[in-house]
Amino acid sequence: MRLRVLVVEDDREIRALIQSSLSVEGFDVQTAVTLHEAQALLAHSPPDLIVLDLGLPDGDGVELVRQVRRQHTTPILIVSARHQEAQKIALLDAGADDYLTKPFSVAELLARMRVALRHRGTALAAAVTIHALEDLRVDLALHQVQKGGETLHLTPTEFKLLARLVRSAGRVVTHRQLLADVWGPEFTEHIHYLRLYMGQLRSKIEHDPAEPRHLLTETGVGYRLAVD
């Protein structure tokens, strides 16, 4: 079955590039230049994945994310320019799956699409409870974290934080999402908690906490657990 992708992008060159690269990969691609056009296409037949630009001629992408999330679990990947940081975070918090900063490579786009589609697939099946990459192995069901075969001792909060990232492995999780899910909704402004606990986790999990390979920083946005 060919997966259907809706690309919402007003930049003609980027739109054409994404469309041709995804078509080559076997996706069935529809394009929209404005929010209005995207809404019309969505009402007609929801796609399997949406690639959404932020700066559109007739408005803000966040409106589209909220509309889609009211009815569908369709993965949404944001493509944005670097200066749109604050908007990007609002979109992730509204339910977008991930983002790419322009300029990005087609390989990067495809990798993020695979992760997003995989997460939607597993959301319907059993939840992902085991994460393994290089020397790190996390088993959420057994409450066990191992590095190079040795069991690590994490505090309950460190484990909760790591578990939250494992459940979204490969995808960015915003500061606000992490704080709400690990500490509670009243702690979403306490970014210093996150910095402190992320530092502790890195010192236990990473070979070199200064150059993390597992717990990656998405500057100004949040963190991502590496999957490859």
Structure tokens, 180: 């709400």
Helices 191-205 & 175-182, crossing angle to 10 degrees?
Answer: 90
The minimum distance between CB 227 and Ca ion, in angstroms, equals 29
Structure tokens, 200: 């502790």
Is residue 204 a contact partner of residue 152, using CB atoms and an 8 Å limit? yes
Nearest alpha carbon to residue 224 among 92, 120, 82, 95: 92
Residue among 10 and 139 whose Cβ is closer to Ca ion: 10
The minimum distance between CB 31 and Ca ion, in angstroms, equals 13
Residue among 10 and 181 whose Cβ is closer to Ca ion: 10
The minimum distance between CB 82 and Ca ion, in angstroms, equals 13
Residue among 35 and 138 whose Cβ is closer to Ca ion: 35
Residue among 8 and 165 whose Cβ is closer to Ca ion: 8
The minimum distance between CB 52 and Ca ion, in angstroms, equals 10
Beta strands in the chain (DSSP E): 4-8, 28-32, 49-53, 55-56, 59-60, 76-80, 98-101, 130-133, 136-139, 144-147, 150-151, 172-174, 215-218, 222-225
Residue among 53 and 218 whose Cβ is closer to Ca ion: 53
The minimum distance between CB 201 and Ca ion, in angstroms, equals 36
Residue among 10 and 60 whose Cβ is closer to Ca ion: 10
The minimum distance between CB 57 and Ca ion, in angstroms, equals 8
Residue among 2 and 83 whose Cβ is closer to Ca ion: 83
Q: Is the peptide bond before 103 cis (omega within 30 degrees of 0)?
A: yes
Residue 21 CB partners (closer than 8 Å, separation 6+): 106, 109, 110
Using CB positions, name the residue nearest to Ca ion.
55
Q: Containing H/E element for 166? A: helix 156-167
Burial annotation 82-119 (CB, 10 A radius, 16+ → b, else e): eebeebbbbbbbbebbbbbbeeeeeeebeebbebbbbb
The minimum distance between CB 38 and Ca ion, in angstroms, equals 13
Question: Which positions touch Ca ion (CB under 5 A)?
Answer: 10, 53, 55
